[in-house]
Amino acid sequence: MSATRTVTVGSSQGLHARPAKLFVEAAQNTGAQVTIAKGDKSVNAASILGVMSLGVDKGDEVTITAAGDGAEAALDTLETFLKTDHDEA
Amino acid sequence: MSAAAQSAMKGTGIGRGVAVGPVARMSPPPLPPPAEPSLLTHEQESQRVTEAIAAVTADLTTRGQTAGGQAQEVLDAQVMMAQDPTVQEAVETLLAQGQTGEYAVHTAFAEMAETLQALGGYLGERAADLHDVAARVVAALRGDPPPGVPDPGHPFVLVAQDLAPADTALLDLDKVLALVTIEGGPTSHTAILARGKGITAVVGVAEASRLADGDEVIVDAANSTIVVSPTQEQRAEAAARVQARAAAQAAPLTDGALADGTPVPLLANLGTPESAAEAVQLGAEGVGLFRTEFLFLSSESAPSVEAQRKAYQELLEAFPGKKVVVRALDAGADKPLPFLNDAEEENPALGLRGLRALLTNEEVLRDQLSALAQAQEVTSADLWVMAPMVSTVEETETFAKFAHQHGLKTAGVMVEVPSSALLAEQILKTADFASIGTNDLTQYTMAADRLLGSVAGLQDPWHPAVLKLVREVGAAGTVTGKPVGVCGEAAADPLLAVVLVGLGVTSLSMAPAALADVRAELLRFTKDQARAIATAAVSASTAAEALQAAQHTATTLTNE
């Protein structure tokens, strides 16, 4: 089974630098196969380079898709992550 | 400036330092491996690559653990890049076509770096990290030592294409006189490292690719230049500056003053109470800007009055009898706080930020002022409070009223918006003092986002348009008899600090590391001379001309 969700990114640096690293770690920790897409480009969410190459900025809409057991739970975790601001100072 | 210096190599200077010494070049990245069919099987190549990546990630992890802190975080990110599934897929595809491991790794990483570079800005500069990872894996495949910092056995000026985090993390600072990079901008790792450790550096010097091992150079960060094969005279001049700077660092910690004895209190910009000790050690006469954001950034909601009181008390106790200016919470474009403003804004720099956000969430402001008043009761520091990003007289009146109601007797405003600079006289009739935030004042005067690299050229506090606004505020301070401070980065630039004082600024607040240089520069000029230098700068047409005019006038005055 697979599930899909569209989320607006809340981090003020988007998914660059530290937030990108944290997102990839979070995606890896869910244990599910996750992809993240912006526009028509879709990448493996476990790939920091893939995620950085999307050039996601604050306020962008991204679509996350998860497959495998616990897909919904994985998307719950990642949706919360994406909506939160992870930047300090 | 001499003719020889004008023909020097140009880049972007980081800091104020100058250094003289022989060049040692970082070995250039290895030649790209040729596209030739592998003599091994696909499985064998695949195994070699896996082992090389494992060796490199182990090495980077160890370096990270040795370095700790911010460097470790950057190196951990490099480890993630080395293990990245997207690149590994690309490597596998090339190996399946019968390519060598060296070629596959080099090509796959280079393509990914190109993608990042095309995105520009921050991501573009991360491409250097990726090239470094690839060079390390290729070296491991070839059985070569990892590429890195040379060790000529004597102090040297390190010249590199750009420094990767793995290099900077373990740099032996006793041997490195200065850093010069061919690529890289003011946000590169080299620049960040140089600022953090106070190393003399000039970045983005395209012509530095011509430098060879052993070349004698003068690295002049203050003038953003590299002088190759300097004349005896130039060497002597640089050596004198190195010495003057060392003397300034070692000079007695006198209170800030001009040559004629006019006092110009030198204060510290601080972000946490823990940083107070270092500021006191470096001779700060008080605090000119205490940022309170650290208390709020990690929380979903505002911290309690009691938690805030403890932090403020710790700060005030470090400065008995001294002035401490605390800025009310400054949530803004670069540091949004969900409990103050969670609305999506098209232009957050022009949105509900600074005092505007506090006045729509009065309880946050009232709690903060209560906590400050309580801390004031039990300590002997002279506590001043100020409001961030004030743009009108009404805002000034409201903030001053709140502060006085809470028993805080000295309430001022930050001048960061041109409107409050132009209305400074009316504002200072209500406010007890003004403090100019030059970074934001420059951003709003030049209409150039200070976080945006593509318009960074406009973000220059030497711009005469910015200096004229500072002059307005200085004049208003003189007329009303109220103090006018500067707490932006401009105050940390020694010559610009003299200009600011010449424009009527009465105190300067800066990162503690900059205090010694500014203290020494102020002592060179009288009040009248500072005014003459300021007049020359304000009359210029461009930021570069303002700097030149100030330098020229300063040189003429000191040679008289």
How would you write the pLDDT of chain B (560 residues) with one tens digit per residue? 444 444 689 888 877 789 999 999 887 666 788 888 888 888 999 999 999 999 999 988 988 887 777 678 778 888 988 999 989 999 999 999 999 999 999 999 999 888 888 876 666 667 778 888 999 999 899 887 777 777 777 899 999 988 876 677 667 777 899 999 998 766 566 776 676 667 899 988 989 999 988 999 999 998 889 999 999 999 999 999 888 888 877 888 899 999 999 999 999 999 888 889 889 998 999 999 999 987 887 666 788 999 999 999 999 999 999 999 999 999 765 556 777 777 778 888 898 899 999 999 999 999 999 999 999 999 999 999 999 999 999 999 999 999 999 999 999 999 999 999 999 999 999 999 999 999 899 999 999 887 666 777 788 889 999 999 999 999 999 999 999 999 977 898 889 999 999 999 999 999 887 898 899 999 999 999 999 999 999 999 999 899 999 999 999 998 76
Give me chain B's average pLDDT, please: 88
Q: Are B216 and B29 in contact (CB under 8 A)?
A: no
> B297 vs A44: CB contact, 8 Å cut-off?
no
Tell me the nearest-neighbour CA distance from A53 into chain B, angstroms: 6
Question: DSSP letters along A57-81, please?
Answer: -TT-EEEEEEESTTHHHHHHHHHHH
What's the CATH code, domain B3-27+149-247? Answer: 3.50.30.10
Per residue in B47-81, pLDDT (tens digit) is: 999 999 999 999 889 888 877 776 787 788 889 88
A48, A61, A86: best to mutate for the B interface, most B CBs within 10 A = A48
CA neighbours closer than 13 Å in the CB half-sphere of residue B276: 21
Q: What stretch(es) of chain B map to CATH 3.20.20.60?
A: 251-559
Tell me the nearest-neighbour CA distance from B104 into chain A, angstroms: 17
> A24 vs B80: CB contact, 8 Å cut-off?
yes
Tell me the nearest-neighbour CA distance from B218 into chain A, angstroms: 34
> B336 vs A85: CB contact, 8 Å cut-off?
yes
State yes or no: ipTM above 0.90. Answer: no
Task: Give chain B positions within 8 Å (CB) of A50.
Answer: 84-86
Walk me through the domains of chain A, giving residue ranges and CATH numbers: 2-83 (3.30.1340.10)
Considering the candidates A16, A37, A50, A67, report the single residue annotated as catalytic: A16
Considering the candidates B106, B406, B463, B487, report the single residue annotated as catalytic: B487
- Residues making up the binding site of B: 291, 327, 416, 439-440, 450
B79, B126, B130: best to mutate for the A interface, most A CBs within 10 A = B126
User: Within B269-417, where are the H helices?
Assistant: 276-281, 294-297, 305-317, 354-360, 362-377, 393-405
Active site residue B189: yes
Question: Which fold does the domain B251-559 belong to in CATH?
Answer: TIM Barrel (3.20.20)
Phi, psi angles (nearest 5°) of residue B9: -70, 140
Residue B200 identity: T
Task: Give chain A positions within 8 Å (CB) of B271.
Answer: 89
Please compute the mean of the pLDDT values over residues A55-68 and round it to a whole number. Answer: 88
Name the DSSP class of B155.
-
Separation CA A53–CA B424 (nearest Å): 47
**A46: nearest CB among B85, B130, B334:** B85
Task: Give chain A positions within 8 Å (CB) of B344.
Answer: 59
Active site residue A16: yes
Phi, psi angles (nearest 5°) of residue A66: -125, 145
Considering the candidates B106, B189, B406, B463, report the single residue annotated as catalytic: B189
What is the homologous superfamily of the domain B42-142 according to CATH? PtsI, HPr-binding domain (1.10.274.10)
Q: What stretch(es) of chain B map to CATH 3.50.30.10?
A: 3-27+149-247
Per residue in B458-490, pLDDT (tens digit) is: 888 899 999 999 999 999 999 999 999 999 778
User: Within B143-212, where are the H helices?
Assistant: 165-169, 189-197
